[in-house]
Structure 1
């Protein structure tokens, strides 16, 4: 077994584990390893495939918490935002966007992890939720960063862990599926991707299964801390990659 295959398997397991634990995070976890073993276009599409698979595997465990009335504004806004973000690609510096999002996410997570104050947002209703979904869709189309804002927003809403996970997992699954279809339409589903998927899927499924079992043992507080810690790593990674 070659080193590249081992990197694909290890990245798939790590990405699946984080996704099973939190409902997001495959890309930022797996790409660290996959970019050493695969061309960037193959690695990016592989992230979408494995993310969708991990999301679908864990979906039955949070199906009871899915509130379609709550989720709908995020989905509508996100689907509108994707083509807007893609259109903005020619006018906006992706590096600047990554830097800005990295600063916001890192600052927020650091304050929340180190401090005892937990702000709660009650205003705005579904209009505010839709705006956050729109912003997430724009960032997804622009730089593949669809999940950060909805995840933070769901935490600020002070919903329980299942309700929060249902929102951002439902949002991410929809956005990632649409993105995967766009990659397929662009001709990025290749034989090389197929070979990588064969090695990655078992690790993704096993990692997601283990992550789900750990998730069920977490209370709201520990889940909140875990999400903040993973978002903090993502924010720091964005800052590093934008400099």
Structure 2
């Protein structure tokens, strides 16, 4: 493993771990852009899925009461999400690294832009179980395809008038369960080979430290500051990935 590879892995793990600790999701969106520069897509998705789980387990504890208070809400998203994972895995081997990086970059810019204008969007007060299940299914498919299971759910849940902790009580266990299924199916396929284990040895400690820093920040900032920080980081990373990829043409 070269020094360049290690540096990209560390950068991705630090960004992904921090954003997971801060928001309860987003590890893959922030880490894959770095990992795909030095790893093939299957290996990159496999290690970022495992890193997401390890980072996410730390965040589950801080919203444990909210999870237990409304398990039915979580299950509306989770059950369809688990069904979608195998579908997403079917597409993984057909995706090349550059296409996936450009897709991640565009999605980050879309994600950040969405939250920039979120206040102009309607607030959903009523229950929408069918739409919730559809969002969960899409999240599961995206989790299997690129470990970005939380991207669509977090955009959907942002329309709800829920406190941060209640939103996180859906996102965090949803991501851990969906990506846990992704990791299990990839492991059964033999994806975690020597190269993947070496990469994990680098990224896991960095990602865990990054998650702890994110949790520390999460506990100490206001809802408004939380939103601004998430938007800024999302747009910055997304624009950076797109500039780097489009400059290669």
TM-score bracket, normalised by the shorter chain, equals 0.7 to 0.9
Indicate how the Cα distance of structure 1 residues 86 and 16 shifts in structure 2: closer, same or farther if over 3 A, else same. Answer: closer
Taking only aligned residues, the RMSD between alpha carbons, in angstroms, comes to: 3.6
Equivalent in the alignment of 1:59 = 60
Contact 2:33–2:104 (CA under 8 A) maintained in structure 1: no
- Work out whether 1:68 is the aligned partner of 2:68: no
Equivalent in the alignment of 2:164 = 161
Q: Give distance in 1, aligned partners of 2:37 and 2:211.
A: 22
- The 5 Å alignment of 1:85-234 reads 85-86=88-89, 106=109, 109-110=112-113, 112-114=115-117, 116-230=119-233, 232=235
Task: Give the Å deviation of 1:26.
Answer: 1.7
63-72 or 202-211: which moved more? 63-72
Contact 1:50–1:200 (CA under 8 A) maintained in structure 2: yes
Unmatched tracts of structure 1, length 5 or more: none
Indicate how the Cα distance of structure 1 residues 130 and 40 shifts in structure 2: closer, same or farther if over 3 A, else same. Answer: closer
Q: Give distance in 2, aligned partners of 1:195 and 1:234.
A: 25
122-131 or 55-64: which moved more? 122-131
Task: Give the Å deviation of 1:116.
Answer: 4.6
Q: TM-score of the superposition, structure 1-length normalised?
A: 0.81
Q: What SS does structure 2 have at the residue aligned with 1:36? A: helix
Equivalent in the alignment of 1:28 = 29
**Aligned pairs, how many?**
243
Task: Give the Å deviation of 1:97.
Answer: 11
217-226 or 14-23: which moved more? 217-226
Unmatched tracts of structure 2, length 5 or more: none
Q: TM-score of the superposition, structure 2-length normalised?
A: 0.80
